[in-house]
Structure 1
Amino acid sequence: MVFELLAKAAEAAPQNKFGFWEALEQGGAIAYGTVIILGVMSFGSFFILITKWVDQNKILKQYQGLGNFWRAASLKEGAAKLDKNSAWRQIVDDGLAAEEAHGKMTDALEAHDWLHGSLARSESSINARLAAGLPFLATVGATSPFVGLFGTVVGIYRALVAIGIAGSASIDKVAGPVGEALIMTALGLLVAVPAVLAYNYLQARNKRIAELLSGFSTDVLAYINSKGAVRPATVAAKPAAAAAKPAPAAPAKS
């Protein structure tokens, strides 16, 4: 009998629900707007991270196959072995185009500067494409905590208003707005941390790719200026090592 009365009393008592969606409903348009903005930032950050990671991996994988390019008889034959849309093919094509145009230079030093500048410009365009989207990651990492903080401030303000209207700081008046404020803070940090990590990770890989591009550009410039006599040491050393390998000794006659 006692348990039945307690159960009926519990059913008759007002049920206060506290959760994520309930906090958003209490926050209204401001809470929903803050969550939507943070959601867009988070989606954009992961989209940039995945697409840039794929682009970087493609360039690094193509770099592993440059040995066949350097073993070709000429730059044009080597370029035909590279992917048409690869960064390495772009540098070679730009170098060949600059070589065709440098014959118009009357000064040898001026021709060298023209080739060097053309390859440097090609490098810069590739690095700029790889860096596209990284400013968005930096912006998200820097601003999303403040967007979450805005929702936090609004939630705390609503909690103070509820306390002032009720005249007492009862838990049912404070829990909703304070919970909303804490959720906004957590969401802001949840969006900011991956964006910062993704930015630093992609930036480090871009620097490595920039180093490889610079070295490759220098090798192409040396190849053009020397008419194919100067090639990377790692490639040129393979045929030499094969030629220097001693022939097997003939069996001794009895």
Structure 2
Amino acid sequence: MMSFVLLAQMGNEQVGWLSRKLLGVTLTSAEWVLWVLVVLSVLSIALMLERAVYFATHRLPNSEELALRLARGDFDAVRAAVSKAKGMEAAVLREGLAAMELGADTVEEVIASTVARERPQYERYLSFLGTLGNNAPFIGLFGTVLGIIKAFHDLGNMGAKGAAIQQTVMAGVSEALVATAMGLAVAIPAVVAFNVFNRQLKTLTSRTTALGHALVGSLRAERSPSTPRAVASGEAR
């Protein structure tokens, strides 16, 4: 901080050309940083609500029951249950059941392709929340640094002494620290939302994979019993 005081107390004629130019830029009000953080905060809240609604409306609430029906081979009931449902789980079951006549191996490939296609729909905007959570504190810190530079520059121009110096510096620094607090206030909810949505996506992917395995396993079980019987009859002969 002493360097800021010395720079502020030096006349413009004692400062280098580049330093004068940079000082002229940094002496602008840091309020624009606060407005940037406010806009980012509103945008992040809107994206959080959008993602929360999307995750809530694009999932199967009865996936465990459907997995049991698949294991029993009740494909018609599962097909009816997911005919109008939204989300990765429903899409996997619909396309897997539509391709079941082509064999279990083909169904397995179809399931993998559907998961790869549907997953980016859930990941949309999550990178923005993660980036905002990581960088909003730095934006706030940038505003704080601008505010501190301006406070020391104003102090040098005022020529204050004694208690007036402390009062001027403390007032300027306290106003500058608002930007850091604002940056943290924007970053923390964004990081929490990013982690929550990522956890929900992992859970949803696991449930989708379980349904796919149940479908493929049921298809293979339907077509494999004839083989052991033939082997047993051959051994009896």
Q: Report the TM-score when normalising by structure 2.
A: 0.69
Structure-2 residue corresponding to 1:80: 80
Is 2:61 the counterpart of 1:66? no
Structure-1 residue corresponding to 2:91: 90
Contact 1:223 1:229 in 2 (8 A): no
Contact 2:27 2:149 in 1 (8 A): no
Residue in structure 2 matching 1:155, options 131, 147, 153: 147
Residue in structure 1 matching 2:126, options 111, 125, 134: 134
Which one-letter code corresponds to 1:143 in the other structure?
N
Q: Please say which of residues 199-208 and 41-50 is displaced more in the overlay.
A: 41-50
Structure-1 residue corresponding to 2:37: 38
Which residues of structure 2 form unaligned runs of 5+?
1-25, 226-237
Task: Pick closer, same or farther for the CA change 1:204–1:84 going to 2, 3 Å.
Answer: closer
How many residue pairs get aligned? The number is 195
* Larger proportion of helix: 2
Which residues of structure 1 form unaligned runs of 5+?
1-26, 103-110, 231-254
**Offset of residue 68 of structure 1:** 8.3
- What whole-Å deviation, never above 9, does each CA across 1:111-164 have from its counterpart, x for those lacking one? 644322210121223322222221111101111011101100110010111111
TM-align CA RMSD: 3.1
Q: Which has the higher contact order (CA 8 A, sep 6+)?
A: 2
Distance in 2 of aligned mates of 1:184 and 1:128:
34
Task: Pick closer, same or farther for the CA change 1:224–1:36 going to 2, 3 Å.
Answer: farther
Which one-letter code corresponds to 2:99 in the other structure?
A
Is 2:143 the counterpart of 1:144? no
Contact 2:37 2:182 in 1 (8 A): yes
- What whole-Å deviation, never above 9, does each CA across 1:4-61 have from its counterpart, x for those lacking one? xxxxxxxxxxxxxxxxxxxxxxx99753321222122222332333333333344252
Contact 2:95 2:110 in 1 (8 A): yes
- Identical counterparts, % of pairs: 26
Which one-letter code corresponds to 1:131 in the other structure?
E
- What whole-Å deviation, never above 9, does each CA across 1:187-214 have from its counterpart, x for those lacking one? 0111111111111122122211111111
Structure-2 residue corresponding to 1:6: none
Contact 2:27 2:150 in 1 (8 A): no
Which one-letter code corresponds to 1:92 in the other structure?
L
